[in-house]
Amino acid sequence: MPFDVFVSHASKDRVVANAVCARLESAGIRCWIAPRDIVAGTSYGESIIEAIHAAKVMVLVFSSNANSSGQVPKEVERAVSNGLAILPFRIEDVMPGKSLDYFIGSVHWLDAMTPPLEKHLDDLVETVRKLLPLPAGAQAAPAASVQPAAQPSAVRPAVGVGTGRAIPSKTLWIGAVAALAIAAVVAAVILLRPKTPVTAGPPAPVVNPSPNPPGDAGKPGPTAGTTAVDPIVGCYHWFNNAPVVIHSNGVVMGGPYTGHWRLVSSARRAYTFTWPEAIDTVTISPGQRSLSGMNQYNYPISATRIAGAVGLVGSWNLSNHVPMLVSPSGTFSAAAFTGTWQTVDASRGIYTLAWPDPVDSVTLSADGQTISGANQYGVATSGTRTEPCAVN
């Protein structure tokens, strides 16, 4: 399937890259990203080279991880040699290392280090749109210069600078970066918290493991206008040893959890799985300086206090160094994610944090035997088909 943008990133920045890809695709900008779009059984290196040759724009998730990566500079060099416009999306307050400075030293970049993250991702969408070639017959609008923004206040919980500042270096020009604008509602964002929800819980009996629930025989599945059974329908053994059953009516059952699946692209064999919201139950330490807990998917959360005195209200530094701001109104935010919190037992320092529904973006292998992908929190997921489906 044709695409517009190649997302280059270090493996350690996979969560950020997945969020960038999700936001661009939610705006109708098609992306290629590894490892999602590498077909099983093909050469990793050849797939990347072919994708760069086919792309129109490269979005580079830039960080210290990109600086130290052996792969990212090679991808950028290949993009330069093929004339791609390169747009660095800086997520960390670092300058390009020697391996990248030659290629992006004089290129305007977008910063994504200060909350709210929604604006940075919206800016990215609009900038990429400006960089993409216009359809045949369309007339280009005059481009505007990207202006430096002021340094943020030191009291902000995250370090960073405004969007659109140029790194002073060589005069190599890579692509035209045009005016930024605020776009639509954000669909996914960068890394927020450590190991947030996985798609399926611990092993548990499946109520109805048949791919076609009773009474659904012959009914059309989620793909409109057809009664054919989608190739993803069936029973799977999930990576965490849980049984997962995908029904033809759009229901997916993973252990004790019931979600819904949707076909995104039949050509790419791409799907989404939407699961119940993740609810962390956390306990604040007696000294009020830290919290820890776990959600119903058995993924932990921990943080240390930045501001505030007693209870959950205040600001916290999650274990992955992302700030979480907890409001007295019963809401909290971590970068662009917003959720709600409740008191369970204030005397014991127990609270719950409800995060948005985990949504897996997955692909089905060409032979229909494996599923792989990740959710918007960056948690990887995969499963292997276990046909025939047997009643547990």
Residue 293 shares a structural domain with residue 149: no
Domain final position from 165, 190, 215: 190
Cβ partners under 8 Å of residue 109, min gap 6: 62, 87, 88, 89, 90, 164, 165, 166, 167
Residue 13 shares a structural domain with residue 155: yes
Residue 252 lies in a domain: no
For residue range 215-257, list pLDDT tens digits in order.
333 333 444 444 578 999 999 988 878 889 999 999 999 878 8
How far apart are the C-alpha atoms of 255 and 209, rounded to whole Å?
A: 10
Q: What is the pLDDT of residue 115?
A: 67
Q: Which of 14, 52, 19 is nearest to 35 (CA)?
A: 14
For residue range 255-268, list pLDDT tens digits in order.
788 999 999 999 99
Q: What is the pLDDT of residue 150?
A: 32
Mean pLDDT (whole number) for 140-157: 34
Residue 364 lies in a domain: no
Q: What is the pLDDT of residue 117?
A: 64
What CATH number has the domain bearing residue 12?
A: 3.40.50.10140
Q: Which of 35, 36, 29 is nearest to 55 (CA)?
A: 29
**Domain extent at residue 333:** 279-354
- At residue 390 the predicted structure's pLDDT band, cuts being 50, 70 and 90, is low
* The total number of structural domains that make up the chain: 2
Is the pLDDT confidence value at 376 over 80? Answer: yes
Beta bridge partners of 325: 315, 333
Pick the more confident residue, 97 or 153. 97
Residue 21 shares a structural domain with residue 132: yes
- At residue 10 the predicted structure's pLDDT band, cuts being 50, 70 and 90, is very high
Pick the more confident residue, 126 or 107. 126
Residue 204 lies in a domain: no
Residue 176 shares a structural domain with residue 298: no
Residue 291 shares a structural domain with residue 164: no
Residue 320 lies in a domain: yes
Residue 290 shares a structural domain with residue 161: no
Residue 164 shares a structural domain with residue 305: no
Q: What is the pLDDT of residue 375?
A: 86
Q: Quick one: residue 308, left, alpha or beta (phi over 0 = left, psi -120 to 50 = alpha)?
A: left
Residue 298 lies in a domain: yes
Residue 35 shares a structural domain with residue 152: yes
Residue 283 shares a structural domain with residue 183: no
Residue 385 lies in a domain: no
Using DSSP bridges, classify how beta strands 370-375 and 359-364 pair: parallel, antiparallel or unpaired: antiparallel
Residue 148 lies in a domain: yes
Vertex 106 angle, CA 121 and 78, to 5°? 80
Residue 177 shares a structural domain with residue 320: no
Residue 161 shares a structural domain with residue 286: no
Asked if residues 87 and 62 have their Cβ atoms less than 8 Å apart, the reply is no
Mean pLDDT (whole number) for 281-290: 93
Residue 186 shares a structural domain with residue 286: no
Is the pLDDT confidence value at 391 over 80? Answer: no
Domain final position from 172, 190, 208: 190
**pTM, whole model, 2 decimals?**
0.45
Domain final position from 156, 190, 224: 190
Residue 220 lies in a domain: no
For residue range 35-47, list pLDDT tens digits in order.
888 887 788 888 9
